[in-house]
Structure 1
Amino acid sequence: MIRCLSVAVLLSLAPLGVAAQGAEVAFGGMRQDTSAPVEVTADALQVNQSDGTALYTGNVLIAQGQMRLAAPRVLVVYAQQAGRIKRMEATGGVTLVSGSEAAEAQRADYDIEGGKVIMSGNVLLTQGPSALTAERMVVDLKDGTAQMTGRVRTVLQQSPDGTAPQGQP
């Protein structure tokens, strides 16, 4: 989950209402070697040679390095080069986990060549008792950052003595 909230998130919080229009978060655990092999497991597979796609359905789990993506349906689009994946479109309720960080959304589009994951539809990002929600989140896997937009809501839990909970910034 979020190892460190950026100053932009902290400055965007209203004193009592914790809603903001947009926020940028540090996403250190989501750094990813986009050249690492991609492993996909699912209940079923349909391959379409004419348009260069593969549709995985049922308990789909995609692994690349430390990153795991789970969804009921994932469409894999291959690049012109044989054997290279261009992008993946996951739908039906998606969970993205990398190390200790995790996010959920209705949809995730993973541009492997560009190293970006765009999650949309009721995005939820949590770390321990703290949480961020938004309509859309763009994760840059190369530099480990994320941009959240669309009525961002942040809930930061504090310990009784006013310090951040253990493991929080």
Structure 2
Amino acid sequence: MLDRFFPALLALALGLASAPAMAQGTEVSFGGLKADTGLPVEVTAESLSVNQADGTAIFAGEVLVKQGEMRLQAGEVKVEYDATGKAIDRLHATGGVLMVNATDAAEAAEAVYTIASGEVVMMGGVLMTQGATAIKGDTLHINLKTGTGRMEGGVTTTFMPGGN
């Protein structure tokens, strides 16, 4: 498993030697968070409020969003529809957001998932775990289609040498 993360960890270790590189962010592989963004999105919650005027729906209370193997949990998720009002454009999750898929997990204060592009931006005290490896930062950008991402703002990491 470490061999999957080795290139990212090597880049991170080399980046530690240069403060400007760290200030710009760290590119990392999020293969475990790769997802099929064309699959149906299922949302469960304790309540739902719909606003026809602005084309939004708000799920509240133990919200769980499923898309294939990807799971996103939050206290509240605002669903925004596209201009036609027929397709979901993006999800804005707040209140202790947790996103998991396969071996990777990420948590933050809030997240915005743009469905068509497969882009997820997690903000506020982000913690990404990949097995024994943990990466912290202010903002995490993930492309679910490619399984790639970028952590920015005060990036720190902890990992176990030798795959232990």
Q: How does 1:1-169 map to 2 (within 5 A)?
A: 3-5=4-6, 6=8, 7-14=10-17, 20-21=22-23, 22-158=25-161, 163-165=162-164
Overall identity of the aligned pairs, in % = 47
1:17 aligns with: none
Q: Where does structure 2 lack aligned partners over 5 or more consecutive residues? A: none
Distance 1:110 1:86 in 2: 9
The root-mean-square deviation of aligned C-alpha atoms, in Å, is 2.1
The alignment's TM-score, normalised by the length of structure 2, stands at 0.89
Q: Where does structure 1 lack aligned partners over 5 or more consecutive residues? A: 15-19
Distance 1:144 1:132 in 2: 16
Counterpart of 1:130, as a letter, is: T
User: Deviation digits for residues 61-106 of structure 1, max 9, x if unmatched?
Assistant: 0000110000001000011234310000000110000111100000
The alignment's TM-score, normalised by the length of structure 1, stands at 0.86
> Which secondary structure state, in structure 1, belongs to the residue aligned with residue 122 of structure 2?
strand
More helix by share: 2
User: Deviation digits for residues 27-48 of structure 1, max 9, x if unmatched?
Assistant: 1121121111000000000001
